[in-house]
Structure 1
């Protein structure tokens, strides 16, 4: 059974990317959502949905599941599985093979909320190749135009220069801090002007 760490991590990924792409309507984010890729699959119950996946260049609207044959044959462009004691072996073997050979998902990552283990793979020549971390330790890829890295034990998104992609609350705090910094600079300038006998309000 997934722990609260899994749910917190999943919510963080979804909310961060939705806020980052808030002006767009050409993507879908799935979280613990079934992906149906064969018409007899629902009866066979052969696959639990990915923990987190993204499909680009599709209509942004609510869905109960992702059904490949109803979505123009589209499979997820990126998948992230959150490892647990119960799922780690399957995520590293069975699901990796499925995403590589059937889904042909360009980028696949797994992350352990318990240990902060992060691994990523990119599809090249019909095979998954490990993604090497950059100098910051981030796994930078092209599907999202973002990198993945670990901060304080959490999987986070980063932009192409290594800056943390904020959540909405973090963005509000950043804007507030910037405003306060600018206000402090303005107050210091006004104080200097007054010391010189200049009224800054005139």
Structure 2
């Protein structure tokens, strides 16, 4: 199914590029409206997704990941200012080293996000699962779309475009995780502390079910691994020292035994040196 979606998506990108080349869009764009996220937990949830994907793709530079930033995709949208951007999105196959204030489709060769996650709240859930979902399906043609409320652990939902470019619900696995074909990761929930806040977070997991770590988690894991290696080396040194001490003790016992035997021979009038000839 994926190759069909990707080939159609690439065709859409080419069509969008040609359209924007013909219809020159505005250049005086706004990238900050001063609006804040719903809550501190929403902010943390967004950065968790961004930073973990950056860590998971640390060996790559052909992707861009952003959050709570404007996506400009049409002249009408710019004029009406009726749509800002998703809480999290990722675009693959682009120059990840380029600095961007927002995602401007006509400056990106007609590329739209490949993966989008919206963080629900009571005030946004209706739009995120309604109007925005329609835009992501019908305009963006974003292959994978997910929603999650950071205050509702069982709220994770996801959809994927089928061959007819219509969203079909993703079926969770036995853990309740949803497979993101585009990223090659599971999106699931993980309970723990992030930035001093305990909650159930939306997190990425690799194909084997391992948590995709945040940079600080990866650094801590590396430090723990290094410490374990140091401790293992110390144990090896201690074991070697114990073996040397054991050998020395054994040699000392043999020497003392020899001395006692020699003393006994002398008591019997024998010269112990004659036994060594």
TM-score of the two chains, using structure 1 as the length reference? 0.91
Aligned counterpart, 2:32: none
Q: Offset at 1:33?
A: 1.4
Aligned counterpart, 2:168: 129
The aligned runs of 1:74-89 (5 Å cut-off) are 74-89=111-126
Q: Offset at 1:198?
A: 6.7
Aligned length: 199
Aligned counterpart, 2:157: 119
Give distance in 2, aligned partners of 1:198 and 1:121. Answer: 66
1:161 aligned onto 2:240: no
Give distance in 1, aligned partners of 2:225 and 2:138. Answer: 48
Higher mean C-alpha displacement, 64-73 vs 140-149: 64-73
The answer for unaligned runs of 5 or more in structure 2 is: 1-36, 192-199, 247-277
Q: Contact 1:136–1:162 (CA<8 Å) still a contact in 2?
A: no
Cα offsets for 1:159-191 (capped at 9, x unmatched)? 110001111111111112112222222333333
Cα offsets for 1:52-109 (capped at 9, x unmatched)? 1111111121222222222111111000000011101100111111111111100000
Aligned counterpart, 2:107: 70
Cα offsets for 1:16-64 (capped at 9, x unmatched)? 1122223322111121112222113212112121111111111121222
More strand by share: 1
Give distance in 2, aligned partners of 1:186 and 1:59. Answer: 43
Give distance in 2, aligned partners of 1:17 and 1:198. Answer: 52
Residue of structure 2 aligned with 1:149, choices 179, 188, 191: 188
Give distance in 2, aligned partners of 1:83 and 1:55. Answer: 21
Give distance in 1, aligned partners of 2:110 and 2:170. Answer: 26
Give distance in 2, aligned partners of 1:172 and 1:65. Answer: 29
Aligned counterpart, 1:185: 232
The answer for unaligned runs of 5 or more in structure 1 is: none
Aligned counterpart, 1:97: 134
Q: Contact 2:45–2:201 (CA<8 Å) still a contact in 1?
A: yes
